[in-house]
A and B are shown apart, each in its own frame.
Chain A
């Protein structure tokens, strides 16, 4: 496979995953803003949402003060925002078109129709009533693309690079959500009995579609350290860092066997996976959640760079 093709597939997956994560972040932010007692708190909510999405600086430069309509527009439609859903879908489709040969017909058609339909939406036409439906639609398109990929693609390098892109992006997204909202998770801020109705906490779980599965796993009300444990260390939770790294090491190892060659990225992924396997949440909090998550973000970026070098993404 061409190095450029591998790079396009990797980024295609990242953009699809990013679009889905953006949709989820907007949804959560909007829910909170709608709460009757949100009041002035909406500033803080949008700020942390934009920060989690990695586009606070861009928003501030463009619009200045936080405003619900502008934030939503910036995250959904603004093509000057490198992570807006419009940008993600356009890039994903562009990469897909460049690698049309590597995609199955189902993958291409789900990607192309998502882009065509989204491009037909007029930004001004989205109302607070239609927003949830639109966000649902975006998530369903991402699911359709990924489902098509999993159901139709050959298990060769095309598949491995697609998987790697998805899980690098997902690990990055989960880490950022944790990092931005980490202060809400600090046990010191927890007040006895207030756990169950803390919207900030549920919002973290909602951001990764895990507010219901949490209950199934812990059979307990929301506890800060358990939320953190769930998102970082739980191997069953499909958006946890541990899960992402399980998938990453599998994909990288399969790729290594296919090509008969291992690179530094293999060791890097395994080291992070081992760290996530062996860590305990208590110790993580003792050493500092923020520091731990920052370390994970750094490792994840490092892994991305090593993969792009090992497989000649730039020729």
Chain B
């Protein structure tokens, strides 16, 4: 694996332009002051309750995601390219979903194997023929982007179900503005604070047609014990809409209604942060305590809009991922602006053979896994771990995909009193409604352990503020 590209210093060939003003500032900071500011940031996060729960970790039911005070900076021109690539991608993903839940042209054209769709758990047959407002299935998408060189941005993953992390993007910025106001006077950083406004406009734009009043919007959460509860309440608050749980809702006369202090009140758009499986016990999991019986029927008959739509997970399935360049070409007629990471589908014999021969170099992921669980990072694993994984892989090849281990870019990060390079990725949050809206920024996740490539917060990763500079 070659040395990584550094966001600030490139490949050791001098300071990169977007970091110029920042590096000057960093040069005159005392390390003690920075450590103190880190403590201050933690106190701010804890006080405002920005905590998340780690599953299977009972002692620390509310933990902070470590926050690194050194920002990640993106130049205006770089962002323009990302923006164009992201917009192209989310339009294609939605067109793809409309197609596979309707005429399935892409399958008929033989561009994607049919069984990959119809036998996929993420494909929801109940959605066939359903017409969501504006034909949009995934309204809120988090695109995970990695960088390996000056011009090499790649999409590692699309999150088209219920992506989370946007509250960290917003709170990280608030915290930075509070801690380092002078830094923002030296750099022209584009604001992100209008995200909630964009989200609200997006949700309103997909309300059922023919409403005789302003659409009523609600955010559906599994409840305070969910790991992303803070974000659910944060977004509801920022938009000024109700935060509801399943038992606050009921379907009566084909309408979704919430139980308010003034009796039942109609809900037009439900921004749900519960998984498909738990949405409606009548259609999906009958044992779900989080969902609302009958909501799927109300949705199908166009009386309420569910955001993101049930079945939207088909577009971020890891088995579909390697076909996304084809999908983009098929629906937009253009080649992808943002590349995919090379991917081996272990369900295919040739790919499996290659993967088994190269396990120590590859990253192998479960098709349906997320959060960094159940994956093998070849170069960072012991022989025993690799052999154990090999057995699992052989037993059920179609459950896995593999990718080369990428030399993710690094960025200066404060670690134990030193500024040192750490690997990171980027998740911008894009909104699809009457138009595509993208706030300039995103969530930068950083692996805090030296050399580690796993940035997931559930695996000890941290976050940084993400700056997109103005021209």
Contact = CB atoms under 8 A, between A and B. Distances in A.
Given A100-B237, A315-B248, A1 B243 contact: no
Contact of A259 (B49, B229, B248, B262): B262
Among A98, A105, A116, A311, find the residue whose CB has the most chain B CB atoms closer than 10 A: A98
Contact of B259 (A101, A108, A116, A315): A315
B224 A94 contact: yes
A157 interface: yes
Give the size range of A's interface with the partner. Answer: 20 to 34
B108 interface: no
Nearest to A96: B49
Among B233, B259, B260, find the residue whose CB has the most chain A CB atoms closer than 10 A: B260
B237 A312 contact: no
Given A4-B245, A112-B48, 4 more contacts: A2-B248, A4-B259, A112-B49, A116-B46
A109 interface: yes
B314 interface: no
Among A4, A97, A101, A116, find the residue whose CB has the most chain B CB atoms closer than 10 A: A101
A252 interface: no
B47 interface: yes
B248 A4 contact: yes
Interface in B220-262: 223-224, 229-230, 233-234, 236-237, 242-245, 247-248, 258-262
B470 to A, nearest CB: 29
B47 A112 contact: yes
A313 B261 CA distance: 7
A98 B222 CA distance: 11
Interface string A249-263: 000000000010100
Interface string A3-18: 1111000000000000
Given A2-B248, A108-B48, A315-B247, A97 B261 contact: no
Among B49, B224, B245, B248, find the residue whose CB has the most chain A CB atoms closer than 10 A: B49
Contacts of B260: 1-3, 312
A124 to B, nearest CB: 21
A94 B61 CA distance: 13
Contact of A101 (B237, B245, B247): B237
B263 interface: yes
Given A6-B261, A116-B46, A100 B248 contact: no
Contact of B233 (A6, A101, A315): A101
Contacts of A100: 49, 230, 233-234, 237, 243
Interface string A288-314: 000000000000000000000001100
Given A2-B258, A3-B261, A157-B261, A101 B243 contact: yes
A2 B244 contact: yes
Contacts of A94: 224
A236 to B, nearest CB: 32
18 contacts: A2-B244, A2-B248, A2-B261, A4-B259, A97-B49, A97-B229, A98-B223, A100-B237, A101-B233, A101-B236, A101-B237, A112-B47, A112-B49, A116-B46, A157-B261, A161-B261, A312-B263, A315-B247
A1 B261 contact: yes
A9 to B, nearest CB: 10
Contact of A311 (B47, B237, B261): B261
A2 B259 CA distance: 6
A114 B429 CA distance: 34
B176 to A, nearest CB: 17
Nearest to A313: B261
A199 B257 CA distance: 57
B248 A113 contact: no
Interface of B: 46-49, 223-224, 229-230, 233-234, 236-237, 242-245, 247-248, 258-263
Contacts of B244: 2
A101 B49 CA distance: 12
Nearest to A101: B237
A76 to B, nearest CB: 23
Contacts of A3: 248, 259-261
B240 to A, nearest CB: 9
Contacts of B230: 100
A105 B171 CA distance: 13
Interface in A76-100: 94, 97-98, 100
Nearest to A100: B233
B48 A105 contact: yes
A100 B223 CA distance: 12
Among A100, A105, A109, find the residue whose CB has the most chain B CB atoms closer than 10 A: A100
Nearest to B218: A2
Given A100-B234, A100-B237, A101-B236, A2 B242 contact: yes
The 10 closest A-B pairs by CB, nearest first: A100-B233, A101-B237, A311-B261, A315-B259, A101-B236, A6-B261, A3-B259, A101-B243, A1-B261, A101-B233
A174 B49 CA distance: 34
Given A3-B259, A259-B262, A98 B224 contact: yes
Interface in A101-128: 101, 105, 108-109, 112-113, 116
B338 to A, nearest CB: 35
Contacts of B262: 259, 261
Nearest to A1: B261
Nearest to A110: B47
Contacts of A97: 49, 224, 229, 233
A210 to B, nearest CB: 34
Contacts of A315: 247-248, 259
A259 B262 CA distance: 7
B194 to A, nearest CB: 19
A97 B233 CA distance: 9
A312 B261 contact: yes
Among A3, A109, A157, find the residue whose CB has the most chain B CB atoms closer than 10 A: A3
Contacts of A5: 242
